[in-house]
Amino acid sequence: MRAVLQRVSKASVTVDGKVVSSIQKGLLVLLGIEDADGQEDIDWLTNKIVNLRIFNDENNIMNHSVTDVDGGIIVVSQFTLHAQTKKGNRPSYIKAAQPDVAIPMYEKFVQVLEQKLGKKVGTGIFGADMKVELLNDGPVTITIDTKTKE
């Protein structure tokens, strides 16, 4: 699994002109799933997301997690995070999981994240043409890959 975490002041996802998710302070998580991903990836990544200390404390030092600041989270499926660009100019998405694998994995990821966060997590709509708006706070953007633990 690959994730791009963006610390946001606000974020929303719109599909067909309708806002399907919105948060104020928190994290926008773009999530890429590949065939090799499993429960271990879900558990490790959700734990990392809720505990990563990337929110400022009273001394303006990144020392608080999303749970510490009672922040929200939106998770958007993003198969393009597994783009391979080594050859040519057209990315290959061969490593990205197909919908029959990715959808249940995405839903399980959101479910586990909600349990660890202790509240509802916003989502996009899998496979839809989504418009994602955000106000990146910092900016703080972090990439994580469960296969390399980076």
CA 115 – CA 104 distance, rounded (Å): 17
Say what the pTM is: 0.94
Q: For 73-109, how does the pLDDT look when each residue is reduced to its tens digit (9 = 90+)?
A: 999 999 989 888 988 899 989 889 999 999 999 999 9
- Do the domain assignments include residue 150? no
Q: Which residues contact 1 (CB under 8 A, 6 or more apart)?
A: 31, 32, 33, 34, 37, 41, 42, 45, 109, 145, 146, 147
150 confidence band (pLDDT: 50, 70, 90): low
Q: Give the residue numbers spanning the domain of 64.
A: 2-145
Question: In terms of pLDDT, which residue wins out, 47 or 80?
Answer: 47
Q: Say whether 12 sits in a helix, a strand or coil.
A: strand
Give me the phi and psi of 10, to 5 degrees please. Answer: -165, 155
Count: domains in the chain: 1
CATH number (domain holding residue 42): 3.50.80.10
Catalytic residues: 80
